[in-house]
Amino acid sequence: AQTVTQSQPEMSVQEAETVTLSCTYDTSESNYYLFWYKQPPSRQMILVIRQEAYKQQNATENRFSVNFQKAAKSFSLKISDSQLGDTAMYFCAFMKPLGSARQLTFGSGTQLTVLP
């Protein structure tokens, strides 16, 4: 079974600064997908960024980028130029590509607060 660990329950960052959220996972699979999801207060969870394990290049989406270290089983999220709207709970998640359901295994989340 896969496990996902987020060791930072809470973090804060000043507006316009850069912050990095940590995530480690444990799996025996060689091919899989990793995700960061964001859950703003009282709003729906949305996808932030996705990484395919067989791709060496780190994924980037505007101000969001990841540092994917497959050997270390580490998948951190960097948010540049933090904005007040980035305040949310961030979840790291793992997905096996095989199997019919494509289930996600989530970490426990990191509450990020962007300070004005």
Partner 1 sequence: EADIYQTPRYLVIGTGKKITLECSQTMGHDKMYWYQQDPGMELHLIHYSYGVNSTEKGDLSSESTVSRIRTEHFPLTLESARPSHTSQYLCASSEDRTGGSEQYFGPGTRLTVT
Strands 74-79 and 64-69 turn out to be: antiparallel
Farthest CA pair distance, the chain: 45
Judged by phi (left if over 0) then psi (alpha if -120 to 50, else beta), residue 72 lies in alpha
Q: Which of 17, 52 has the CB closer to partner 1?
A: 52
Strands 110-115 and 64-69 turn out to be: unpaired
Q: Stretches 20-28, 57-65, 71-79, 97-105: which one binds partner 1 (CB under 8 A)?
A: 97-105
The least distance separating partner 1 from the CB of residue 101, rounded to whole angstroms, comes to 5
**Per CB under 8 A, does 5 bind partner 1?**
no
List contacts with partner 1 (CB under 8 A).
1, 33, 35, 37, 39, 43-47, 50, 52, 89, 91, 95-98, 100-109, 111
